[in-house]
Chain A
Amino acid sequence: MSRFFTTGSDSESESSLSGEELVTKPVGGNYGKQPLLLSEDEEDTKRVVRSAKDKRFEELTNLIRTIRNAMKIRDVTKCLEEFELLGKAYGKAKSIVDKEGVPRFYIRILADLEDYLNELWEDKEGKKKMNKNNAKALSTLRQKIRKYNRDFESHITSYKQNPEQSADEDAEKNEEDSEGSSDEDEDEDGVSAATFLKKKSEAPSGESRKFLKKMDDEDEDSEDSEDDEDWDTGSTSSDSDSEEEEGKQTALASRFLKKAPTTDEDKKAAEKKREDKAKKKHDRKSKRLDEEEEDNEGGEWERVRGGVPLVKKPKMFAKGTEITHAVVIKKLNEILQARGKKGTDRAAQIELLQLLVQIAAENNLGEGVIVKIKFNIIASLYDYNPNLATYMKPEMWGKCLDCINELMDILFANPNIFVGENILEESENLHNADQPLRVRGCILTLVERMDEEFTKIMQNTDPHSQEYVEHLKDEAQVCAIIERVQRYLEEKGTTEEVCRIYLLRILHTYYKFDYKAHQRQLTPPEGSSKSEQDQAENEGEDSAVLMERLCKYIYAKDRTDRIRTCAILCHIYHHALHSRWYQARDLMLMSHLQDNIQHADPPVQILYNRTMVQLGICAFRQGLTKDAHNALLDIQSSGRAKELLGQGLLLRSLQERNQEQEKVERRRQVPFHLHINLELLECVYLVSAMLLEIPYMAAHESDARRRMISKQFHHQLRVGERQPLLGPPESMREHVVAASKAMKMGDWKTCHSFIINEKMNGKVWDLFPEADKVRTMLVRKIQEESLRTYLFTYSSVYDSISMETLSDMFELDLPTVHSIISKMIINEELMASLDQPTQTVVMHRTEPTAQQNLALQLAEKLGSLVENNERVFDHKQGTYGGYFRDQKDGYRKNEGYMRRGGYRQQQSQTAY
């Protein structure tokens, strides 16, 4: 049966056809879909195996169709391309052609094409208008076709003499084919829409059809376009065909009426045609997109499609078939076979599976089967998106969540069902109620996949939209599912599986600040009975306890390194988030992750970076500026904090990486709700750098060899200095720079007002859970460090200074001032002594002046210069002979060269 004909008559598959036509692909794509819709076993097998002839001819007809399209729009270049393809395809079909004779349509296109080209060639005006490419293609094609047609001369001439006859033959052949197929169809119920249509199409009598064709052919020369329509949009012919069946007598009329459609069907056809054309214009390339679009398209398309399930429902199983396990499983397998194949309608597949579940449930086939089918539904939901990068649609996602929930319900309700990946297909026990049910499938994988999908959805949603919030609401559901699965696996799963699900749980817990626990901590147990009640109301477990429990289990039981690493990092993060600095730090040090994290895969490294940052921020909150600085140094000094934390791609490196890399990196991004505020991070870093660097700078002002503690901080200072005009600070950085300048002068009040004010509160400090605590800590730090800076900078102008004055100046209490100064004296930072009775600091003035400093440095440098020079001298002597060393030494002694004899000898020996 002619493939072309079938597709033409099948209005349902039209949508996909129109897409495929354009890319000139064999319509074979339809095949996968059709049997699915029809779910007709017999037909299925029959159609998939096509004869070689059909296949080749189909290819040819497709090409011809494209050529006709191209001819219509005068795209000669395209014609040329297609013609070459056609020649090749013909060559492939040679063996069949030898057997069957040259097909009529082939001759016809050759003849038409030649005529068409000649016509174009004659049309001088048109040729002038043609663009260069087309004109070139025209001449080439003309030559080619002349040459080519020489081989078919006899055929063509016979065709030209008698075009009707050849066309008739064509038609007859089609008819024969369709009759053949209808015979088969008649064996069956013939309920399906497609078969129904086919039956219709077979109906038109030979005569009317012949007549029609004749009309067609007569028109052909003059009205190329109409012919083309006939060819390119199968829909027209099919619709007219089906109409013919309704009233044979009106066939002729309808044929003529085609251009002015009156009947509903015609209207529909016209609409379709229009849509087809529009589509052609738009998405020539993206076939896939096209398909998806069709899925979504409303109105017309939906209506046509809407009929399908209705037809399908009874078709799922033949009427009266006893629905047994075997039948259902068979059906299931059948559906699954289509999975993953090209052109399978995934949405339809999911629907089918859901139907199957219903049927199974209706017929009480037992939970085993249902579980099995559910597994498959979820799997096909995941499969729905062919592309890894794209994310699930909300409705799919909702379905997926529901499905997993239902599955869990069943599994919890029936503890006798065993689920596992390792259960072989053969050893499954789906219905034998005596033995425990065994189903193949892995709930853990499903949940992991679900988590991935969730991440993907979050990654692909604009984080500042309401939509994101909506999606984020699902997080609770995801967590709930994970918790259920965890409970399930705790009972039944292996340790490995438990570890995996624990990790998932941890990953959903570690970044959340436990406000309830925090509140509980804040309100000490006054009125214990009441608070106990509160606690009972609150969720049973502190997240800290939970993390502890889960992580410890993983530490003990896990064998894969990755899960443990992730768990440790999450644990540290959680500790740090809740200001348990020492636990976090100890865990980090004990894990030795810093040594070998560079061998981990990027996502783990990102997690590590996040953890380090959180650790640094935690240290800052505790007032441990040095630790904070050290923890943040690596991340901040690179200037790529954004990238290192997986919170966005840098524009700069966009050119460096290719598309593929970019995709991979995009997938690694952390969803927005996990982000660490970069401004906060930078501010914490800069402020701790300021607290360290400014006193250090003051202490080593004249030291030539002083090193920077923080390069980035210095960079910011320099940027600030370069500013031609200093306005009041605007950004966070400017605030810190301004504060640093104030601190340099020992002016802690200004410094304080720059660091802590409305703007900075809004930008940074209010983001901390315990903002006020942090602020008081910060003020105190600023006071202390300003005091130190003041002493470093101005000690040279004081003979002595009263501690009381200092304590007034910096609003610190006397013991603190005392302790700070004592510390400085002990560390030999400040050359002074404390005079206890008068509470004053007496300066010793042992600091060298600037000139003295310089002179010292110069002396040092000269020392090294001399040393170097002597080495050169040594060398000279060495070259004259290692053999005469003793003599040389004697010589030296005599000459009195031994200024530093012992030392020199050592030197000369070590030099070799």
Chain B
Amino acid sequence: MASRKEGTGSTATSSSSTAGAAGKGKGKGGSGDSAVKQVQIDGLVVLKIIKHYQEEGQGTEVVQGVLLGLVVEDRLEITNCFPFPQHTEDDADFDEVQYQMEMMRSLRHVNIDHLHVGWYQSTYYGSFVTRALLDSQFSYQHAIEESVVLIYDPIKTAQGSLSLKAYRLTPKLMEVCKEKDFSPEALKKANITFEYMFEEVPIVIKNSHLINVLMWELEKKSAVADKHELLSLASSNHLGKNLQLLMDRVDEMSQDIVKYNTYMRNTSKQQQQKHQQRRQQENMQRQSRGEPPLPEEDLSKLFKPPQPPARMDSLLIAGQINTYCQNIKEFTAQNLGKLFMAQALQEYNN
């Protein structure tokens, strides 16, 4: 276990640069008015999260935990974390909030940052854009403005590159969520699309100099074979899984659209109801005969308008599809590179 940790530790440092690069790339996302512009994570936190998943996460199961830290200017420093205990059905009366408070109090006693600055969650092939995540992140961000959610992808990490991303809800989405109105009109008014639901905050992993020194020491010692994961050419399995998941989402999307379509048709049908016209004609006749016109009744009372489908789900699905696509793009790009490299190597050898 120790060696494993070391391995991941070393990659963490090396990937800190890539994370930073990603952050730069996302910079154009325009998180200008957001309270937090950068997330600085302690190496300890990364290791703790990884360890948590190693110990408790399995397959599609996700693990979650609380992030602790403090805000410095526009930088959110995450200095510690602790996991949520795994839920079981039998202890339904387990009080999560109390557990968290207890935990934080205890941490304060040992002089650790005890400010709640967000939470982390593991993910299975990047399928994290869900309603649950949205809801809990909303409540976090509602209560603590600076809070972020860290998404840790163990599968990608196992392939050799640490995948850790910080997300926040955009102010627009916060507004919408506050309204709790997910009808098509409201979303249209808010002018929100799936691209602007989450914003990614660049991550920097920071270690103390002492640790850095240790890392260098270790790097020298570690064999080359430890890094081979990065060069693995077997890609079909991963790609297949991603495609499968993507397909599921597309199916859902399709269904959602059909639902929306029927809704549209129903509303239009109702608007075109002959009823109104008939009433008008009748009134015209009455007027010509000199009788008082019949009152214009409220249509919505006569015909209940069809319930508009909540559009938030489709937004989320779209967001999820987007992440999958990004994943696949990234993955295939990397793999192509690897393949070319392998080809070149082979040619060289021959």
Contacts and interface: CB of A to CB of B under 8 A. Distances in A.
Contacts of B264: 872, 875-876, 879
B178 interface: no
Contact of B243 (A854, A872, A876): A854
B257 A861 contact: no
Contacts of A757: none
B261 interface: yes
B260 interface: yes
A708 interface: no
Interface string B255-292: 00110110011001001000000000000000000000
A835 B104 CA distance: 76
Interface stretch (B19-27, B246-254, B296-304): B246-254
A868 B257 CA distance: 6
Contacts of B268: 875, 878-879
B239 interface: yes
Interface string A836-876: 00000000000001110011011001101100110110011
Given A850-B236, A851-B240, A871 B254 contact: no
B159 interface: no
Contacts of B236: 849-851
Nearest to B256: A868
B244 interface: yes
Contacts of A871: 257, 261
Contacts of B265: 875
Contact of A858 (B250, B260, B261): B250
A851 B257 contact: no
Contacts of B261: 868, 871-872, 875
Contacts of B260: 872
Interface string B222-252: 0000000000000010011001101100110
B251 A861 contact: yes
A854 B251 contact: no
How many chain B residues sit at the interface, stated as a range, is 10 to 19
Nearest to A849: B236
Contact of B250 (A855, A861, A878): A861
B257 A865 contact: yes
Contacts of A858: 243, 246-247, 250
Nearest to A854: B243
Contacts of B258: 868
Nearest to A871: B261
The residue in A850, A862, A865 that gathers the most chain B C-beta atoms within 10 A of its C-beta is A865
B271 to A, nearest CB: 8
A478 to B, nearest CB: 63
Nearest to B246: A858
A865 B321 CA distance: 13
B243 A855 contact: yes
B247 A851 contact: no
A904 B271 CA distance: 25
A86 to B, nearest CB: 64
B257 A857 contact: no
A854 B254 contact: no
Contact of A865 (B239, B244, B253, B271): B253
Given A851-B240, A872-B264, A857 B247 contact: yes
A460 B236 CA distance: 66
Contacts of A862: 250
A449 B257 CA distance: 67
A868 B243 CA distance: 21
A869 B261 CA distance: 8
Contacts of B240: 850-851, 854
A862 B324 CA distance: 14
A851 B250 contact: no
B8 to A, nearest CB: 29
A855 B251 CA distance: 14
A739 to B, nearest CB: 31
B65 to A, nearest CB: 33
A844 to B, nearest CB: 22
A648 B239 CA distance: 54
Contacts of A878: 268
A865 B250 CA distance: 7
A861 B251 CA distance: 7
B300 to A, nearest CB: 18
A460 B124 CA distance: 63
A869 B256 CA distance: 10
A827 to B, nearest CB: 28
A871 B240 CA distance: 30
Given A875-B265, A879-B268, A854 B257 contact: no
A556 B130 CA distance: 71
Contact of A864 (B246, B254, B271): B254
Interface in A460-487: none
A421 B30 CA distance: 102
Interface string B44-88: 000000000000000000000000000000000000000000000
Nearest to B239: A851
Nearest to B251: A861
Nearest to B255: A868
Nearest to A862: B250
Nearest to B253: A865
Contacts of B239: 851
Contacts of B246: 858
Nearest to A865: B254
Interface string A15-48: 0000000000000000000000000000000000
A851 B244 CA distance: 10
Interface string B151-189: 000000000000000000000000000000000000000
A857 to B, nearest CB: 6
Contacts of A850: 236, 240
Contacts of A854: 240, 243-244, 247
A862 B257 CA distance: 12
Nearest to B235: A851
A879 B250 CA distance: 27
Contact of B257 (A849, A855, A872, A879): A872
B251 to A, nearest CB: 6
A876 B265 CA distance: 9
A859 to B, nearest CB: 10
A850 B244 CA distance: 11
A850 B243 CA distance: 11
Contacts of B253: 865
Interface string B7-36: 000000000000000000000000000000
Contacts of A851: 236, 239-240, 243
Contact of B254 (A857, A861, A879): A861
A861 B249 CA distance: 10
The residue in A850, A854, A879 that gathers the most chain B C-beta atoms within 10 A of its C-beta is A854
B29 to A, nearest CB: 26
Nearest to B244: A854
Contacts of A849: 236
A855 B265 CA distance: 33
A858 B328 CA distance: 13
B199 to A, nearest CB: 26
A693 to B, nearest CB: 24
B254 A868 contact: yes
A861 B247 CA distance: 7
A849 B237 CA distance: 12
Interface in A520-539: none
Interface in A267-321: none
Contacts of A869: 257
Nearest to A882: B272
Interface of A: 849-851, 854-855, 857-858, 861-862, 864-865, 868-869, 871-872, 875-876, 878-879
19 contacts: A849-B236, A850-B236, A855-B243, A861-B247, A861-B254, A862-B250, A864-B254, A865-B250, A865-B257, A868-B261, A871-B257, A872-B257, A872-B260, A872-B264, A875-B264, A875-B265, A875-B268, A879-B268, A879-B271
Given A858-B243, A868-B254, 6 more contacts: A861-B250, A865-B250, A872-B261, A872-B264, A878-B268, A879-B271
Chain A to chain B: the 6 pairs with minimum beta-carbon distance, closest first:
A868-B257, A854-B243, A861-B250, A875-B264, A865-B254, A879-B268
